[in-house]
Chain A
Amino acid sequence: QVQLVQSGAEVKKPGASVKVSCKVSGYTLTELSMHWVRQAPGKGLEWMGGFDPEDGETIYAQKFQGRVTMTEDTSTDTAYMELSSLRSEDTAVYYCATEEYSGYYLYWGQGTLVTVSS
């Protein structure tokens, strides 16, 4: 059983960056394909990007290209998502989730609320 535990809520000013962590237990990070999905208040789910095992690379939704970086520390089985140049529209709950071979998300973190406000 995979468990994903995310870091706590963050409050950031516009223009700043935020780095959210996702600690894996039950499996090692190298056995998983980790992705990130966000949800603005009262809105739907939005895929941001993640590791694509077909290409062996991290892929990003076009909307976030150049602003988001997803990394992994396999020594601690922790995945990270860093979003820069924050604006108020980035206020959302950010989830890490493991992608299965057929592209669905089986395990989810509890979510991290990032609030962007001056």
Chain B
Amino acid sequence: EIVLTQSPGTLSLSPGERATLSCRASQSVSSSYLAWYQQKPGQAPRLLIYGASSRATGIPDRFSGSGSGTDFTLTISRLEPEDFAVYYCQQYGSSPLRTFGQGTKVEIK
């Protein structure tokens, strides 16, 4: 089973700052099968990035994804007030397993 480890657990930043979130896999993950989600309190997760670097429809271009193999990154170039939330990475690996990281909380400093 592939384990995804996200870091840091919490990121304290101010609006306008750059956020860099890490997702490390215990085994190599195909870039095609790595996704990122944003979740706000009381809401369902929202897809941000799929295929490691493709933005989902309607996602602002301040969100970008990169990486390959076992190391993936979600970058928010300039934090807007609505970006403070929890972010999860997710992989679709060797069938039949799908796994999520434990999440990174981006909070207002």
Q: Report A's interface with B, CB cutoff 8 A.
A: 35, 37, 44-47, 52, 54-55, 59, 61, 95, 97, 99-100, 102-106, 108-111
- Cross-chain contact A100 with B100 (CB below 8 angstroms): no
Task: Count A-B pairs with CB separation below 8 Å.
Answer: 64
Of the listed stretches B15-23, B67-75, B91-99, name the one at the interface; the rest are far from the partner chain: B91-99
Contact status of A105 and B102, CB under 8 A, knowing A52-B96, A59-B96? no
Within the complex, the shortest CB–CB distance from A101 to chain B, in Å, comes to 9
Indicate whether A102 sits within 8 Å of B100 (C-beta atoms), given known contacts A44-B88, A45-B88, A111-B44: no
Q: How many residues of B contact A (CB 8 A)?
A: 25
CB distance from A64 to the nearest CB of B (A): 12
Q: Mark B20-39, 1 if CB is under 8 A from A, else 0.
A: 00000000000011010101
- Measured in the bound complex, the distance between the Cα atoms of B33 and A110 in whole Å is 24
Given A102-B50, A106-B47, A111-B44: A47 touches B100 (CB 8 Å cut-off): yes
Cβ contacts under 8 Å, A111 to chain B: 44
Which residues of B line the A interface, CB within 8 A? 32-33, 35, 37, 39, 44-47, 50-51, 56, 88, 90-92, 95-103
B50 x A100 contact (CB < 8 A):
yes
Q: Say whether A104 contacts B97, CB under 8 Å.
A: no
Complex contact B32–A102 (CB within 8 A): yes
Closest-by-CB residue of B relative to A54 is B95
Interface of A is mostly: strand
21 contacts between A and B (CB under 8 A): A44-B100, A44-B101, A44-B102, A45-B39, A45-B103, A46-B100, A47-B98, A47-B100, A59-B96, A61-B97, A95-B44, A99-B98, A102-B51, A103-B98, A104-B33, A104-B35, A104-B90, A108-B45, A108-B46, A110-B44, A111-B44
Residue on B with the closest CB to A95?
A: B44
Q: B86 → chain A, closest Cβ, in Å? A: 8
Knowing A103-B98, A104-B92, A105-B90 touch, does A44 contact B50 (C-beta < 8 A)?
no
B33 near A44 with CB under 8 A, answer no
B45→A102 contact, CB < 8 A: no
